[in-house]
Structure 1
Amino acid sequence: MFIEGKIKSYITERGFGFIAIEGESKDLFFHIKDFPNKSVEPKIGEKLKFRIVEDNGKLKADQIVRLDLKQNTADLEAHLPQRSYANHNASPRFNKRSPKGGIFTIVGLIVIAVLAVLVYNKYQDYRQAQQLKAQQLIEQQAQFVEQQREALGNLPVEVLSEQGHRNLEDQTYSTNKPRSEKVSASIDKQNGVQHQQSSQFKCDGRTHCSQMRSYEEAVFFLRNCPGTQMDGNNDGQPCERQFGR
């Protein structure tokens, strides 16, 4: 049960005092820690409402309500001018949408769209350039092989295949040379191939396909050794069945 009383004394340095209760001869102890609002110092004569509890065998005030402080706060709020927060929450420039902000947004979106189109067109141009370059290289390689055939005549397919797989940069450089230089270079390569085959194979009297160990050896014997019997259809390709040609 709550009872009422008034502060009779208070020692600021020690944070406690006593409450005088009407009809009671003995004052009641209280401590500042039991006050709901410790920021406002208790004053002598201030009205309080509280409960009496026992603490370590002694009675004291607890759950203190400061009646005078509560009344003063209510009076202060009652005398304050009422404000219409609905009309003063924000500045008028934020209550209305600024037309400049809308224009800036539209301009920004247009700039982004233009940049996106430019980037896409740039990417498409790059892809077309890459495809064109690849097509040109393929055509240059085909022209190079055809020029080799024209310059070297009836050259075995293996030699053309080997030469056709040269480094792509060498092929591009070779196609940019004058025709006389290209023919000379092709003949030099053919002579080099024939010289390599001559150093590897040697005429030793063999004349039949069954005696050949490789297609290259059969080609060498057909072209360089007399009396060979390895090209029945006279097409310049020896031992076609044996070597799957």
Structure 2
Amino acid sequence: MFIEGTVKSYNPERGFGFIQAAGQQQDIFFHIQDCPAKDIEPVIGEKMKFMLVEDGGKFKAGHIVRLDLTDQMSVASVPMPFESTRQNAEYGKVSSNSRNSSKLKLSKFITVIGLIVVVVLGILVYGKYQQYQEQKQIRLQQMIQEQEKLVVEQRKALGDLPERVIDVPEQERKYTSVASNQTDYADSVSTDHSSGQSFKCDGRTHCSQMKSYDEAVFFLRNCPDVKMDGNNDGIPCERQFNR
């Protein structure tokens, strides 16, 4: 049960005093350590509310409530309406500015991080490209060296091959023989040319258009698209000139 009273005396050097309470025959002892707000010294006449507690066989004031001090603190802690509004407005401005500043800093930070990421990616891509070009150049050089080595080996292998006689097919041998005979005969014809005869290609292609065997031989040897050697033996117009 709480009892109300007033401070009757207080010794600031020793930190204790006495409370005069209604209905009590003796003044009640109290100590500053049992009071709230110990940094504020009690004054004579200050109202207090307390409970009697036993301490070493004697009673003293405990659970002290400083009524005058509590009222003063309550009034001081309640702001005036205008002052409260101004404080709230200022606090709102500070909070808004703080939020805007935080957003601005965050935006700048994100921008810087983005630029750093772009630069790092660019460096990595350029490095990969350079590495690809170097590998491509190395592969090209290796291919050139391998080809050069292969050519050298082929030349060495061809140089070691034994000599072989080329077997000419019978048909080619016959054609070679006919061509040789035709050449020999043409030499004799050219000898006849030196006697004053002269021929030139003028579009004639058949034996019936030839005036002499020498002329037929000349056309067969020198003029295109002639049709004077049906059996391809190098002798033109055999029936016409009895060859």
TM-score (norm 2): 0.52
Aligned to 2:91: 89
The change in CA–CA distance for 1:118 and 1:83 in structure 2 (over 3 A counts) is same
From 135, 138, 145, the counterpart of 1:131: 135
The change in CA–CA distance for 1:103 and 1:95 in structure 2 (over 3 A counts) is closer
2:41 and 2:31 map into 1 onto residues whose CA distance is 12
Instruction: Give the CA deviation at 1:18.
Output: 1.1
Aligned to 1:36: 36
| Greater alpha carbon shift after TM alignment, 85-94 vs 50-59 | 85-94
User: Is 1:121 the counterpart of 2:122 in the alignment?
Assistant: no
Amino acid at match of 2:144: Q
Instruction: Give the CA deviation at 1:14.
Output: 1.5
1:109 and 1:16 map into 2 onto residues whose CA distance is 66
Instruction: Give the CA deviation at 1:90.
Output: 4.4
Instruction: Give the CA deviation at 1:152.
Output: 3.4
After the TM superposition, list the runs of 4 or more consecutive aligned residues in structure 1 that deviate by more than 6 angstroms: 98-103
| Greater alpha carbon shift after TM alignment, 66-75 vs 140-149 | 140-149
Amino acid at match of 1:56: G
Aligned to 1:142: 146
Number of matched residues? Answer: 156
The change in CA–CA distance for 1:86 and 1:56 in structure 2 (over 3 A counts) is same
Alpha-carbon contact 1:17-1:31 (below 8 Å) kept: yes
Equivalent residues in 2 for 1:48-127 (5 A)? Answer: 48-78=48-78, 80=80, 82-84=83-85, 85-91=87-93, 94=97, 97=100, 108=112, 111-112=115-116, 114-116=118-120, 118-127=122-131
Alpha-carbon contact 1:36-1:65 (below 8 Å) kept: yes
Alpha-carbon contact 1:149-1:155 (below 8 Å) kept: no
1:101 and 1:24 map into 2 onto residues whose CA distance is 68
Amino acid at match of 1:89: Y
**How large is the RMSD of aligned CA atoms in angstroms?**
3.6
Alpha-carbon contact 1:53-1:59 (below 8 Å) kept: yes
Instruction: Give the CA deviation at 1:124.
Output: 3.1
**Which structure 1 residue ranges, 5 or more long, are not aligned?**
157-245
3-state SS of paired residue (1:70): helix
Instruction: Give the CA deviation at 1:131.
Output: 2.3
1:67 and 1:7 map into 2 onto residues whose CA distance is 11
3-state SS of paired residue (1:145): helix
Aligned to 2:24: 24
Aligned to 1:162: none
1:90 and 1:151 map into 2 onto residues whose CA distance is 94
Instruction: Give the CA deviation at 1:113.
Output: 6.2
Aligned to 1:203: none
Aligned to 1:204: none
Report % sequence identity. 34
Larger radius of gyration: 2
